[in-house]
């Protein structure tokens, strides 16, 4: 007999699992409290006809063939390699820091060996490396740290790099070559018709029933489901019984500029030292759309608001572990996704995790069938 599952959250985690279960013949009731599918990857045409990402720029990149093959069932792709510039004292430099950044910033003419020697001469060796400050000083030294990282991190996290775990800064590479791509994954592309269209096709299955604008806490008949997948915040599932898990939030300020063909030279420009916002993204770079005007978004980090970035600290991880202990007792519920696992996931990582979860759920549903 086919089983019925409830899935909370129509982002990448929930929608990937929904499609996996539906393809295997099971029924899926997929809910989301927002009035739209696609979670934080949601994109839409704004009032001026430009395709924008409501919750900030989402650039797809992966080294996983499996993830790529799964998504390619629902979209064609537009090849796109993201580039970022960082503004220091009014001038734009390639970011992540590469050889060109050094040459332009310091008026040098270094080759690859020279760039390595430069980093070696300015770095402040740290041992052990515990914080983000340690990571950056250890690789690029104080001047580059202060110009590109220190103030950006303070704005982004509301914390000094010395208060943040090493992993936060370790994600940002430093290069001795002139590669100015933000990501180096083997596959870098945008869904040709946007993320929302891709999700529409993923969820277009007779076994999937999507219900929007409904919160998990409003459901009263959970007993009728054979399995539950929960991709919302894990602390909310347990009614914050141990207190809330801290998140950093963002406010997105969208703007359309009529009769401006191009606002900036790259998809994203970082402002480490000026303004209350961290960065500006111009969507036409990402989507390749042609339009007489352009649409941009400024990101303002905030302490309150929608949960976007888990704040990595030992205290917060200990609190998360306490919620995990409760989650382990919920035998019929799978917790997956960035909010349920309280971790920063790139899109491809969350899809990979969701594909693996779908397989586990299918295995457990087949066990139910036998008993
Ligand atoms: C500003 C920003 C930029 C990013 N850029 C990139 C990028 O360029 N490349 C990249 O790979 N990744 C990027 N990411 C990460 C990407 O957003 C995540 O990997 C992805 O959204 C995770 O999918 P998810 O399904 O776990 O979560 P989400 O997309 O957040 O989906 C969870 C869904 O659950 C719903 N929900 C929560 N609680 C409930 C409830 N109680 N009842 C009903 N529904 C509920 C929410 O409304 C939401 O729609 C970015 C993230 C941010 C914040």
β 84-88/91-95 pair status:
antiparallel
**Does residue 102's CB lie within 6 angstroms of at least one atom of ligand 1?**
no
Query: For 16-70, how does the pLDDT look when each residue is reduced to its tens digit (9 = 90+)?
Result: 999 999 999 999 999 999 999 999 999 999 999 999 999 999 999 999 999 999 9
Tokens 């401006």 locate to: 260
d(CA 150, CA 97): 14
Q: pLDDT over 70 for what percent of the chain? A: 98
Tokens 């359309």 locate to: 256
Distance from the Cα of residue 128 to its chain's centroid = 29
**Does residue 188's CB lie within 6 angstroms of at least one atom of ligand 1?**
no
The predicted pLDDT at position 370 comes to 42
Query: For 248-258, how does the pLDDT look when each residue is reduced to its tens digit (9 = 90+)?
Result: 999 999 999 99
The predicted pLDDT at position 168 comes to 86
- Name all domains of the chain by residue range, CATH numbers in brackets: 4-37+203-246+311-370 (3.40.50.720), 84-170 (no CATH)
Q: Is the pLDDT of residue 106 over 50?
A: yes
What is the pTM assigned to this prediction? Answer: 0.96
- For residues 31-57, one letter each, b for 16 or more C-beta atoms within 10 angstroms of the residue's C-beta and e for the rest, the string is bbebeebbbbbbbeebeeebbbbbbeb
For the CA of 337, the closest atom of ligand 1 is: 26
Best residue among 61, 210, 305, 347 to mutate for probing ligand 1's pocket (most ligand atoms within 8 Å of CB) is 347
**Does residue 231's CB lie within 6 angstroms of at least one atom of ligand 1?**
yes
């Amino acid at each position: 007999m086919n089983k019925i599952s409830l899935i909370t959250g129509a982002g990448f985690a929930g929608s990937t699992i929904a499609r996996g279960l539906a393809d295997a013949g099971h029924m899926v009731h997929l809910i989301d409290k927002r009035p739209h599918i696609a979670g934080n990857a949601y994109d839409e045409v704004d009032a001026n006809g430009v395709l924008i990402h409501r919750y900030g720029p989402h650039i797809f990149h992966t080294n996983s063939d499996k993830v790529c093959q799964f998504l390619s069932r629902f979209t064609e792709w537009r090849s796109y390699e993201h580039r970022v510039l960082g503004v220091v004292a009014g001038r734009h430099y390639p970011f992540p820091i590469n050889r060109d950044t050094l040459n332009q910033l310091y008026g040098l003419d270094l080759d690859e060996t020279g760039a390595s020697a430069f980093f070696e001469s300015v770095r402040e060796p740290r041992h052990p490396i515990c914080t983000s400050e340690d990571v950056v000083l250890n690789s690029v030294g104080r001047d580059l740290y202060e110009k590109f990282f220190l103030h950006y991190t303070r704005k982004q996290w509301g914390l000094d790099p010395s208060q943040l775990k090493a992993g936060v800064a370790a994600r940002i590479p430093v290069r001795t070559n002139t590669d100015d791509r933000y990501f180096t994954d083997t596959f870098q592309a945008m869904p040709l018709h946007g993320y929302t269209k891709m999700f529409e096709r993923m969820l277009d299955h007779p076994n999937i029933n999507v219900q929007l604008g409904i919160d998990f806490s409003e459901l009263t008949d959970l007993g009728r489901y054979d399995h539950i997948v929960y991709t919302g915040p894990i602390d909310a599932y347990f009614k914050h019984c141990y207190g809330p898990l801290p998140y950093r939030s963002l406010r997105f300020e969208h703007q359309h500029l009529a009769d401006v063909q191009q606002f900036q030279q790259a998809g994203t420009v970082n402002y480490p030292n000026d303004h209350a916002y961290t960065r500006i993204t111009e969507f036409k770079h990402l989507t390749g759309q042609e339009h007489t005007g352009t649409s941009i978004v400024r990101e303002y980090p905030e302490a309150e608001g929608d949960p976007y970035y888990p704040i990595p600290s030992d205290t917060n991880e200990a609190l998360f572990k306490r919620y995990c202990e409760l989650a382990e007792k919920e035998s019929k519920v799978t917790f997956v996704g960035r909010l349920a696992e309280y971790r920063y996931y790139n899109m491809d990582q969350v899809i990979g995790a969701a594909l693996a979860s779908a397989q586990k759920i299918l295995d457990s549903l087949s066990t139910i069938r036998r008993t």
